[in-house]
């Protein structure tokens, strides 16, 4: 009787590239309503990671680097939920470009997926921000959680266009590398470990993630608009913490995320492992 051998080691990079291509085809083939709902879930999942990160960042009393490390580590909750529970995240879907480059996905299908997922992510993240504001969790720790939320939001809306763009590029290069590693992983534990270091690194370094910012900026805006006495006590100049300020952040960060994920990760790995020059294809 022949025994079936189960391979437990991770996939090789060339195998990951083929799997990423197949995953891209599957993603764009989903019904619109399913894609949208899974996008909402991903936005909520990332927002939960942001809630966790904001609460930990409010700890204070720790050296800067160590506090950033802990904040990044707990933020990983968001992508862990996206990958393991199943959801559609705009930044991770930059890898669909691999299937597009192989002409297995049309430009229209790619943009349709990105649009639906981006809208879903926005709804999920902002809805979570509204719920967290209504819960008044920001008043925890004698208000230090809310002060931290305001400081995070304020720092983001005060970034210049070019700075936000580059920080977005660096962020999604790491996010897509994390997704790339999970595609090669075999077990739940492997996937979690694959996520931890790249995501912790981007948060600790202060890079910009468009979907995370769909939570970080709205929660700060909600506090500033509907609890002005609390916001005033924080002692911050919040002139740019407006809906326009949020838009001014999301535009360059989103563009940067696309460049970092689609250009610096998906396109490079497609060229290395999937691209076949005309001379090879004609044989």
Instruction: Tell whether the torsion through CA atoms of 84, 22, 210 and 174 is positive or negative.
Output: positive
Percent of all residues in the chain with a pLDDT value above 90, rounded to a whole number: 92
Residue 278 lies in a domain: no
Encoding tokens for residue 180?
């790339």
* Vertex 258: Cα angle to 70 and 166 (nearest 5): 60
Residue 2 lies in a domain: no
pLDDT digits 0-9 by tens, 238-273: 999 999 999 999 999 999 999 999 999 999 999 999
Question: How far, in Å, CA of 188 to CA of 177, rounded?
Answer: 17
Structural domain tally of the chain?
A: 1
Question: How far, in Å, CA of 88 to CA of 91, rounded?
Answer: 9
Cα–Cα distance list, 21 to 16, 30, 87 (Å): 9, 15, 18
Question: How far, in Å, CA of 179 to CA of 141, rounded?
Answer: 35
SS3 content of the chain, % helix, strand, coil (to 5): 80, 0, 20
Cα–Cα distance list, 33 to 88, 116, 123 (Å): 12, 9, 14
Query: What residues contact residue 225 under an 8 Å CB cut-off, 6+ apart?
Result: none
Residue 196 lies in a domain: yes
What's this model's pTM, rounded to 2 decimal places?
0.94
Q: Are 80 and 195 in contact (CB under 8 A)?
A: yes
pLDDT digits 0-9 by tens, 68-81: 999 999 999 999 99
pLDDT digits 0-9 by tens, 22-77: 999 999 999 999 999 999 999 999 999 999 999 999 977 899 999 999 999 999 99
Task: Please report which confidence band the pLDDT of residue 1 belongs to, taking 50, 70 and 90 as the band edges.
Answer: very low
CATH code, domain with 219: 1.20.1080.10
Residue 5 lies in a domain: no
Range of the domain at 85: 13-271
């Amino acid at each position: 009787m022949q025994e079936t051998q189960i391979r437990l080691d991770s996939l090789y990079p060339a195998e990951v590239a083929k799997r990423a291509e197949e995953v891209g085809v599957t993603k764009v083939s989903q019904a619109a309503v399913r894609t949208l709902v899974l996008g909402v879930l991903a936005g909520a999942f990332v927002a939960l990671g942001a809630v966790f990160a904001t609460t930990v960042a409010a700890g204070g009393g720790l050296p800067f680097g160590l506090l950033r490390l802990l904040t990044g580590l707990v933020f990983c909750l968001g992508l862990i939920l996206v990958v393991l529970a199943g959801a559609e995240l705009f930044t991770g879907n930059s890898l669909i470009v691999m299937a597009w480059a192989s002409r297995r996905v049309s430009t229209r299908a790619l943009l349709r997926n990105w649009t639906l997922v981006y809208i879903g992510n926005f709804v999920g993240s902002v809805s979570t921000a509204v719920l967290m504001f209504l819960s008044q969790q920001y008043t925890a720790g004698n208000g230090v959680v809310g002060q931290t939320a305001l400081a995070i939001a304020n720092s983001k809306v005060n970034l210049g266009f070019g700075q936000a763009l580059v920080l977005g590029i660096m962020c999604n290069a790491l996010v897509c590398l994390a997704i790339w590693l999970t595609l090669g992983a075999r077990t739940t534990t492997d996937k979690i470990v694959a996520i931890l270091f790249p995501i912790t690194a981007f948060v600790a370094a202060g890079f910009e993630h468009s979907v995370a910012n769909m939570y970080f900026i709205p929660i700060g805006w909600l506090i500033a608009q509907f609890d002005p006495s609390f916001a005033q006590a924080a002692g911050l100049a919040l002139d740019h913490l407006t809906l326009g300020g949020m838009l001014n952040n999301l535009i360059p960060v989103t563009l940067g995320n696309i460049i970092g994920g689609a250009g610096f990760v998906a396109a490079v790995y497609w060229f290395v492992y999937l691209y076949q020059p005309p001379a090879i294809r004609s044989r």
